[in-house]
Amino acid sequence: MKLSRRKFLALGGATLSSVVTVRAADEAPVVLGQGEFRYRVVRGWGVLDEKTPVKNCHGIVCDAGGNIILLTDEVANNFIVYDSAGKLVHKWGKEYPGAHGLSLVNEGGKEVLYFTDLELSKVFKATTSGEILGEWGFPEASGKYEKSTQYKPAWTLHHPDGGFYVLDGYGRDYISHYDAKGKYAGIFGGKEGGIPHWGPHGGILETSDKGEHSLLIAMSDQQNLLRLGLNGEKLSTTSLSGGNPRQIAKHGDHYFIAHLADNWPADRQSRGFVSVLNSEFKVVSNISGSQPEYDDSGTLLKMKSTTDTFMHPHDLTIGKDGSLYVAQFFSGNTYPVKLERV
């Protein structure tokens, strides 16, 4: 059956290669997830025209005003800013072919963006309107790299003091530390630090009840979350069997995890889902995934995708009203998926 362009866009399509994915999302069950975390897809949200294309949608954040900021590796417009209704506010960026990780940080009462580029081997800092404020190349002072192409920064994790950590998730798996002035301050991880390749992809820096800071890292192909101290010491591991965690968003006392797929990389056509974990790191809901189950020993049983709502979730953010916005990689050039909580 052929679709008119108007009908195709109404279904949430972006390109012909995304017809199957988008049609499946549109026909997803009315309610997704379990328990207190159940959602419904908002059909057609964020769909734009050929003047504002997307390729892989890598990063997504929600600013203080409720706008949704999307990072794509489409160099026609690397940054797309939506209002909460899914209308285009503005767009910018044509220089970032390997655009990947995106973090929104409040610095002295002003929101700024940090983002990474895998092809340029750099981290950038920018205003939300597109003015570049700083950039960092490979940490040559560390002695861990002979050339910039060995460095493929995936994401940045931010300390309240203004310092930040860079996860080299596609290069040599080191974690570089920069102080509040943006100066190189150290490095850990990598093979000798017990960090496996295809591991450190995304994450957050958070504070415990005791006021201690730590890094919580989405370990992608390792199918777990890894908590590290700020000097690289391993504190805990949370298994997420059947998932492939790419990024973490904390909202209240819960953690939202974007899983790229349930059998990645063995089957690149396998589909992903979103997990919600409570403060004790127990999975309480899988959005477009199986009911979370634990055996008598407390071990999480293997999870899996159960609907065609998503193809490959890569990042997510939670809006002011509790809605969930999901950006997808390798998913037929589809725009973000919005899900409203029910």
Q: How far apart are CA 115 and CA 164, in angstroms?
A: 12
In the numeric block, the tokens 């949370």 are attached to 238
Give whole-number Cα distances, 17 to 13, 20, 274, 333, in Å. 9, 7, 23, 7
Q: How far apart are CA 160 and CA 142, in angstroms?
A: 24
Q: How far apart are CA 334 and CA 13, in angstroms?
A: 6
**111 within 8 A of 64, measured Cβ to Cβ:** yes
Q: What are phi and psi of 288, to 5 degrees?
A: 70, 25
Worst-scoring range by mean pLDDT, 23-32, 52-61, 135-144, 258-267?
23-32
pLDDT for the residue numbered 27: 54
What fold characterizes domain 52-336?
Neuraminidase (2.120.10)
**200 within 8 A of 208, measured Cβ to Cβ:** no
What single DSSP character describes residue 8? H
What single DSSP character describes residue 150? G
pLDDT for the residue numbered 210: 84
Structure confidence by residue, pLDDT tens digits, 48-101: 999 999 999 999 999 999 999 999 999 999 999 999 999 999 999 999 999 999
Q: How far apart are CA 243 and CA 104, in angstroms?
A: 25
Half-sphere exposure of 112 (CA within 13 A, CB side): 16
Structure-block tokens of residue 325: 């916005």
Which residue(s) pair with 294 in the sheet?
Answer: 300
Q: What percent of the chain has pLDDT over 90?
A: 90
SS3 89: strand
What is the pLDDT confidence band of residue 23, given thresholds at 50, 70 and 90? very low
As a whole number of Å, the end-to-end CA separation of the chain is 33
Q: With 80 as the cut, is the pLDDT of residue 259 above it?
A: yes
Structure-block tokens of residue 9: 């866009």
Structure confidence by residue, pLDDT tens digits, 195-238: 999 999 999 999 988 889 999 999 999 999 999 999 999 999 99
Which is more confident, 111 or 7? Answer: 111
Structure-block tokens of residue 136: 């960092």
Give whole-number Cα distances, 93 to 46, 59, 90, 155, in Å. 19, 14, 11, 18
Structure-block tokens of residue 72: 């794509």
Sign of CA dihedral 63, 68, 71, 77: negative
pLDDT for the residue numbered 9: 36
Average pLDDT along the chain? 92
**52 within 8 A of 335, measured Cβ to Cβ:** no
- Of 96, 90, 160, the C-alpha closest to 124 is 96
Worst-scoring range by mean pLDDT, 128-137, 185-194, 204-213?
204-213
Sign of CA dihedral 303, 305, 311, 314: negative
**240 within 8 A of 257, measured Cβ to Cβ:** yes
- Of 309, 332, 303, 171, the C-alpha closest to 244 is 303
81's enclosing H/E stretch is: strand 79-82
**334 within 8 A of 22, measured Cβ to Cβ:** yes
Structure confidence by residue, pLDDT tens digits, 275-326: 999 999 999 999 999 999 999 999 999 999 999 999 999 999 999 999 999 9
